[in-house]
Structure 1
Amino acid sequence: MTVRTCAAIAAALLASAGCGASPTEEAKPLPPVNAKAASMKDGFTTMERLAETAKKEGSLNLIALPRDWVNYGEIIDTFASRYGIKVNELEPAASSQREIDAAAQLKPDAFDLSLDVALDNTAKFAPYKVEGWQDLPDHVKDHNGGWYAGYGGYMSIGYDPRKGAAPASFADLAKPGYTVALAGSPLDTAAAFDGVMAASLHKGSPDVRQGVALFAKLKKAGQLTDAPKASVVVDWDYVNADRAAKDPEAWKVTIPRDAPLGAFYVQAISKDAPHPAAARLWEEFLFSDEGQNLLQKGYARPARGEAMLMKGTLDTEQAAKLPVAPGPPVLLTIPQTDSAKSYLKKEWAEAIG
């Protein structure tokens, strides 16, 4: 239940009981606003005060949020309209590392990052625990509030059913007839890196050499190409599912049973945010039931999803439209990620060209 709803219920109960403050009593003054506080309660007392403070700041700088990525276009427009705040959309196509590298120049208020980049830059974030903090799984949040998962997904195979049967595994991609693409270069793009890592899974454990070997084989056979030319694209399930929803006859999505690689993108507020209250309001909106359901509308899996399902606030109709997951996700550890990235830096160019 939202703070706004709780306040409305409390007001109604007080009115019905006739127990308002007496004329001789003075309302207890609220503490001063602290726009850089580590929680809504500590800095603003109520959501209304947070919204008022953010509206006075007037703007919000967001970076690396493509409007067609997990429904961010609708999310940004809803937030801007709801609170009367201008949203400046900076470098929508930027990578997670670019967000950090450009922060001093572009001055974003908040970040949307891959977990490894967030962990490397925690000192640059302002701790803030959203109202739904307790609903977030412990393994996808910084216990000091520096960063916290907003949404996640599974690495998937999107394919054109008119040009071939559904691949049952990543190994099937080497069969004749498929033309395959990654979502960029695994040296630069998190989605492409995780695509290689999904292809490297064996009994739940990654072996990056296996992933590189598969894509090298595809390259040698002339089957590795760019996304616009491919009959198969290895990408996050929410990207492939969105494409499938727009053209179901020409695109389908599957998550291989033997490679349920998952990952979360995490949120963080910049320590140097020029609009600190607006940044905190943005995170509160994103992690509200409404915000999480809007992310799910973009086929992402909301980080608060399990708790929302238990509370009856998850949009179950939309949840049923997500690609079927073969089981709990395999999440790469930071040592596994670091080791794989080191290997790719040495071997990818030579293997793929």
Structure 2
Amino acid sequence: MLGAAVLTTLTAACGAAPDGPAAGASGAEAAKATSASAFGGMKELVAAAEKEGALHVIALPPDWANYGEIIKAFQAKYPKIKIQSENPDAASADEIAAVKSRKGQDRAPDVLDLGIAFARSGAEEGLFAPYKVEAWDKIPAAQKDADGRWYNDYGGYVSIGCDAKRIPNCPQTFADLLKPEYKGKVALNGNPTKSGSAFGGVYAAALANKGSFGDIQPGIDFFGKLRKSGNFIPVESTPATVEKGETPISIDWDYLNAGYADQFASKGVDWKVAVPTDGVYAQFYSQAVNKDAPHPAAARLWMEFLYSAEGQNLWLKGYARPVLLPAMTADGTADKSFVTKLPEVEGTPAFPASAELDKAKATLAEKWDKAVS
């Protein structure tokens, strides 16, 4: 079924009328292409990308939302395009910094996977190229920039992961995390001023403590209280720290925590996952093409792959909720075996507006370090 869905997309694209650079477009022309039809269709886009022969990605850990398999699948599908994956553990802020500092250089990143706050601010700074994938119309309007400078890709809920062999009673809510029994046990996945996942953790804590999308301060105060009690430790939670037991309680996206449960079960780690009912916060990450991508055609082909049924199902396999899941559920292309394994969540998610995200980022930048020092 997946193969048929992808084939249909490719065939339809090949027959589209070009509205920009023709087949065999130069790098400068490819950099201006706003859709596959600008190349003459998908076949021509593939040819242009293969001619470039490379794709630079950044901040894509193999164990994050199944990116390891996604990269391998793209490489297998397009063997003439060599993927160079740099600094897989980088944060969204590092990606933006790389785009700015390497402008005009061949080693600049071609594509970006960013926390939504960074995607929106990067677009405002003019860092991204507008490009609309073949599946553009299936992406909900609230999940994309109208001009195609960024669009959401996959998402999940803030969750609490817990090593049940080290923690007798795993916490289920943010309120639980204040209990003395969790002293020296609680960690975030990075610094919330730089990391999208840690940013989400603080936002969720704010919602659990009478805050709102417009007021993240209660979340900062909560972690300040956790730090003073000794429960919160300033250690970045990673697969390595989880496996070693250094971060036995990790506040992170549910797809990452669910992935750890699978990844480390054979190594004796009994990793439990709970989406806290007192702080339900969901967030999508976003894709963007670097406006000055050294491989502009390959960058656009990567986007097409990610938003095909094949690419979306690979995220789903990694416990992430792909942005096209509603459309794929309706047309039957979503892999039901993966859908049934998603962590359970109560309620319907809501999302902060751009102004609220900007305010939250500014508040964190000003007050986070002092609160947890």
Q: Which residue of 1 aligns with 2:88?
A: 92
Correspondence 1:243 to 2:260? yes
Quick one: distance in 2 between partners of 1:346 and 1:6? 46
**Which of 185, 191, 206 is equivalent to 1:185?**
191
Q: Structure 1's 125 and 86: CA in aligned 2 closer, same or farther, altered over 3 A?
A: same
TM-score (norm 2): 0.83
**Which of 45, 48, 52 is equivalent to 1:53?**
48
Larger radius of gyration: 1
Quick one: distance in 1 between partners of 2:168 and 2:348? 28
Q: Which residue of 2 aligns with 1:214?
A: 222
4+ residue runs over 6 A deviation: 6-9, 28-31
Q: Which residue of 1 aligns with 2:116?
A: 115
Q: Comparing 282-291 with 244-253, which one deviates more in the overlay? A: 244-253
Q: Structure 1's 272 and 341: CA in aligned 2 closer, same or farther, altered over 3 A?
A: closer
**Which of 33, 54, 67 is equivalent to 2:62?**
67
Q: Which residue of 1 aligns with 2:155?
A: 152
What 5-or-longer segments of structure 2 have no aligned partner?
Answer: none
Q: Which residue of 2 aligns with 1:24?
A: none
Correspondence 1:233 to 2:236? no
Verify the 8 A CA contact 1:204 1:330 in the aligned structure 2.
no
Correspondence 1:138 to 2:141? yes
Quick one: distance in 2 between partners of 1:265 and 1:126? 17
| Aligned AA (1:185) | N
Quick one: distance in 2 between partners of 1:230 and 1:64? 21
SS in 1 for 2:173: coil
Quick one: distance in 1 between partners of 2:6 and 2:155? 26
**C-alpha deviation, 1:336, in angstroms:** 2.4
**C-alpha deviation, 1:141, in angstroms:** 0.4
| Aligned AA (1:263) | Q
Q: Structure 1's 64 and 7: CA in aligned 2 closer, same or farther, altered over 3 A?
A: closer
SS in 2 for 1:157: strand
**CA deviation profile, 1:209-235 (whole Å, cap 9, x unmatched):** 322232222222221123432321101
Quick one: distance in 2 between partners of 1:166 and 1:261? 20
% identical equivalent positions: 46
**Which of 229, 232, 249 is equivalent to 1:224?**
232
**C-alpha deviation, 1:3, in angstroms:** 6.4
**C-alpha deviation, 1:308, in angstroms:** 0.3
**C-alpha deviation, 1:256, in angstroms:** 1.3
Quick one: distance in 2 between partners of 1:189 and 1:125? 20
| Aligned AA (1:348) | W
* RMSD over equivalenced CA pairs, Å: 2.4
Verify the 8 A CA contact 2:18 2:39 in the aligned structure 1.
no
Quick one: distance in 1 between partners of 2:18 and 2:94? 44
**C-alpha deviation, 1:329, in angstroms:** 1.6
SS in 2 for 1:165: coil
Correspondence 1:293 to 2:313? yes
**C-alpha deviation, 1:142, in angstroms:** 0.8
Q: Structure 1's 151 and 121: CA in aligned 2 closer, same or farther, altered over 3 A?
A: same
Correspondence 1:326 to 2:349? no
TM-score (norm 1): 0.88
Q: Structure 1's 343 and 146: CA in aligned 2 closer, same or farther, altered over 3 A?
A: closer
Count residues with an aligned counterpart.
334
**CA deviation profile, 1:269-311 (whole Å, cap 9, x unmatched):** 1111121111111100010000000111111110101100000
Verify the 8 A CA contact 1:171 1:199 in the aligned structure 2.
no
